[in-house]
Structure 1
Amino acid sequence: MPPRIAWRPNPVAIRQPMSRRQEFSTAKARAFLKEQTRRSPIMFPFALLSVIGLFGWLAYFIPWYYEHVIIRPFRHFPEPVAQKLRRAMFYSRGRNMDMREADRYFNEALQVAAAVGMDQFSDEAMAIKYLMALAFENGKAYSHATKVLESLRFDTERWLEEQGDKHWHDGDRARVLKNLIQAMVKAGQLYSCRYLRDVDLAEKRLTWAVETMLKEVHRRETEGLKQGEGPFMSDEEIGATLEALGTHYETYNSHHLALPLFLRALDYCPKDSCHSVILMNNIATCLAQQPLPKPPPPPTTPTTNTVIPPTPPLQPTRPQVIAQARTWAEKALSHADTIPAENRDEECATGCATATHNLGEFAEMEGRLQEARELYDRASRMAFRAGFKEGSVHAKEGLKRVDKKIKEESK
């Protein structure tokens, strides 16, 4: 019997039908492309390139989005905590906003953080509560946001009181104190918003933050840094804290209290920053709007045995106060011109528009209506170019007001 030969498939015979199908598909595709190009010699290639470009952009954007939006913001957290935080942030913004679900996942993140051994007062653990407060603020649940920050304040103050002295030399005390100050600034801003309007509690939290910060800065300047104590707050952070309390006072017409805070904040603001222009405008506004001190009562007719009291110091007049305010507004404009181009941002544009508007108001107070009208018109155009809608509206209101006064005078 002849030996049995195992059957082996012929690769050429198998590949041949596949090759014919491929050739048929390729030929069909070429014919389709030629036909569509003949019908639409401009639009079809453009549409084809657009589709190819779209797929290329998606191939780049999807990995970039995953890395920079989903992964990177939470890279400092352990992965089990980061997963809960991603879900919490997903439910705290956009069309998917559901504050109950966001609250649930934030609380689960705190529980997981404790379970994996995260320090309760590390920057990351404290940031979870801060993010939770911001999420409630974005969801317009302002009372819940303040409750989260008050819980953070209670726990942190207790830690500073019980454990703060043990952490002078590892930098933890300064770091935790800084985080608490910034959280109380945020709490004060939330209390003073129009939805809560708890002015007293807002002032209490902001005042505590400023006083605690200044005490710590003074201690470091007088006693010096302890070994290993580490940094506290940068100049910009100190200035921002002072400005927050000054803004609160300015909002509720306590301009005499806001003025020294803005002046002190300006000292800490970088000179090449556009924010210094905003602070100079705030100083000008406070000078112009703060009430003049009441003149002292007239002295009684002295007798022969009474001592004549010294002459009281001269009180500034309204024109003098307006002149000082004008000086600060003009200083804001001149300082904006000295800021390097690489440091200029939208604050420079809005600050210049505001300073010009303030100069118009000062000219209107002094009765120089034509000059005020020119300044209001210039401020309106500057605000429009900067996209500063509020400034544009106020400038147009000033124009209408001055035009009405000019018409009344001409009668």
Structure 2
Amino acid sequence: MSSTIPTLVCARRCASAFKSHPPQHLLPNPSSLRPPTSRALHASKPSLLVRPSLLRRTPQWPSHCRPLTTRAAARNLFRAHPIAIPIATIFILFGLGSFVYGNYIYRTYIVGQFTAYPEPVAMKLRRAIYYHNTDANPQLAVKFYRQALEEAAQCGMDPFSNEIIGVKIQLAFLMENIGQLGRAAEVLEVVFRDCLAWTEDPERGAKEERRAQRTRVLAKMVGVSVKLGELYADDRIKNEEAAEERLVWAVTTVLKEKERREREGVREGEGAWMSAEEVGGALESLADHYESSNQHFLAAPLYLQAVSLVPTTSCHAITLMNNLSISLALQNPPPTAGIPSPSGASQINDAKTWARKALAVDRALTKADTRTEECDQGCAVTMINLGEFAEMEGNLAEARRWWGEGVELSRRVGFQEGVIRGREALARADKRK
């Protein structure tokens, strides 16, 4: 009983203190006890008083319903589908890459290459190239090529521009692909005659603004003339006279223009002439023609000029030197008054010299980025030809050594023609034992 008395006394004291000194925050505000005026009744709006501490407080979610972050959701999804998710990701990335690449191809190769043409011409050319390369319908391709040329004429395009000449050359290329070499030659002959008439007009070359165009058109004519020579020399046409005429014109024009520029200098606005390799290509085409008709004495000087124009750091130099060695070994020029004919021994020595130079060029081309298939095949053919030259001198032992090396190299690089030719030479040598 005595233990509860202090507790009751303490409680009574606290109650009396509360009545005499109540807390200030629990007392009503006197102004709030006044009756509101009519204006206050209409204008007052209820407001929600929230302690500032509640605005800063982060709601605590229960652990079972807490929202997941994107990374966590992705991790859970991957754990639930460990195989399907990677496969779906690969397909999505592949589809996105295909879309980007397809758009690049379309913009660059389908739309981009026709920006130089008016839209009516470009539309016909797109269809022509589609039937030329994709659908393989030559008749429709020829039809749309011709319609493109007609549209170009109606649009007022320059008939001697690179774009229009290129369309005509492409049409001839289509004819050649389908085996109609005669019609291909007809198309190129029209291009050649029109360009020739344009370049021979004296007013064309006199005007400064036309000089660059004349240089460009003349270079196109050289290329067209060389192609005509190749078409006429083909076995399906076999017009040797026309082939030689076109090839001789090309070489003569190239050398005359080169000589004129060296003598008179380059006139203002003319621009650069054909490069050394392009000039060498024209010389080589005529030399090949003479070589095929067994006129080796005419082919040799042309090959020699072509070799001087082609850099020795290219694989094509091996081919030219090898062809030159063959022409020197086989040439049989007609007798000329006052000029002694070269002996067979000196011709073979000259041929062997150029063949060994070809092998030296091949050995110098050690870098993989400068070597091509032409290097390996040219080297194999040169070895076999050195065997032929040794056979002409009666040295079968040396001939067999060169033929064996040529066959081995041809087999190693996959040059089947060299393997066959070398084995035939070895079999021929075996019969002579």
- AA at the equivalent of 1:326: K
The alpha carbon displacement at 1:116 in A equals: 2.1
Seen in structure 2, the aligned counterparts of structure 1 residues 183 and 313 have a Cα distance that, compared at 3 Å, is closer
Aligned match of 1:364 in 368, 384, 391?
A: 391
Deviations 1:87-117 (A, max 9, x none): 22222246x3222211111111111112222
RMSD: 2.8
Match of 1:318 in 2: 344
Q: Is the 8 A contact 1:284 1:329 kept in 2?
A: yes
1:49 & 1:323 partners in 2: Cα distance? 69
Match of 1:331 in 2: 357
The alpha carbon displacement at 1:295 in A equals: 9.6
1:76 & 1:329 partners in 2: Cα distance? 48
- AA at the equivalent of 1:325: A
Q: What's the TM-score once normalised by structure 1's chain length?
A: 0.78
Q: Is the 8 A contact 1:209 1:241 kept in 2?
A: yes
Deviations 1:185-237 (A, max 9, x none): 11111111121111110110111111111111111010111111111211111
Deviations 1:231-266 (A, max 9, x none): 121111111111111111111111111111111111
Deviations 1:292-316 (A, max 9, x none): 65598xxxxxxxxxxxxxxx66542
Q: Is the 8 A contact 2:283 2:305 kept in 1?
A: yes
Seen in structure 2, the aligned counterparts of structure 1 residues 346 and 58 have a Cα distance that, compared at 3 Å, is same
Please show how residues 65-84 of structure 1 align to structure 2 within 5 Å.
65-84=105-124
2:271 & 2:122 partners in 1: Cα distance? 28
Q: Is the 8 A contact 1:332 1:355 kept in 2?
A: yes
SS in 2 for 1:397: helix
- Are 2:153 and 1:126 aligned? no
1:63 & 1:282 partners in 2: Cα distance? 47
The alpha carbon displacement at 1:386 in A equals: 3.0
1:86 & 1:203 partners in 2: Cα distance? 36
Please show how residues 150-299 of structure 1 align to structure 2 within 5 Å.
150-162=189-201, 163-170=203-210, 171-291=212-332
Match of 2:148 in 1: 109
- AA at the equivalent of 2:102: I
Structure label with greater radius of gyration:
2
1:363 & 1:244 partners in 2: Cα distance? 28
- AA at the equivalent of 2:332: P
- AA at the equivalent of 2:420: V
- AA at the equivalent of 1:401: R
The alpha carbon displacement at 1:284 in A equals: 0.4
- AA at the equivalent of 2:173: L
1:330 & 1:365 partners in 2: Cα distance? 17
Q: Is the 8 A contact 2:297 2:333 kept in 1?
A: no
Please show how residues 59-70 of structure 1 align to structure 2 within 5 Å.
59=99, 61-70=101-110
The count of corresponding residues between Structure 1 and Structure 2 is: 355
Out of 358-367 and 390-399, give the one that drifted further.
390-399
Seen in structure 2, the aligned counterparts of structure 1 residues 46 and 344 have a Cα distance that, compared at 3 Å, is farther
The alpha carbon displacement at 1:142 in A equals: 0.6
Match of 1:306 in 2: none
The alpha carbon displacement at 1:345 in A equals: 1.7
The alpha carbon displacement at 1:64 in A equals: 4.1
Seen in structure 2, the aligned counterparts of structure 1 residues 129 and 49 have a Cα distance that, compared at 3 Å, is same
Match of 1:58 in 2: 98
The alpha carbon displacement at 1:57 in A equals: 5.9
1:97 & 1:112 partners in 2: Cα distance? 23
1:329 & 1:371 partners in 2: Cα distance? 15
The alpha carbon displacement at 1:169 in A equals: 4.8
Structure with the larger RCO, 1 or 2 (CA within 8 Å, 6+ apart): 1
Seen in structure 2, the aligned counterparts of structure 1 residues 386 and 118 have a Cα distance that, compared at 3 Å, is farther
Aligned match of 1:85 in 111, 125, 128?
A: 125
1:61 & 1:388 partners in 2: Cα distance? 37
Deviations 1:144-171 (A, max 9, x none): 1101001111111111122433445541
SS in 2 for 1:91: helix
Seen in structure 2, the aligned counterparts of structure 1 residues 117 and 354 have a Cα distance that, compared at 3 Å, is same
The alpha carbon displacement at 1:270 in A equals: 1.9
1:69 & 1:373 partners in 2: Cα distance? 53
Match of 1:10 in 2: none
Out of 144-153 and 113-122, give the one that drifted further.
113-122
Q: What's the TM-score once normalised by structure 2's chain length?
A: 0.74
- Runs of 5+ unmatched residues, structure 1: 1-26, 38-43, 297-311
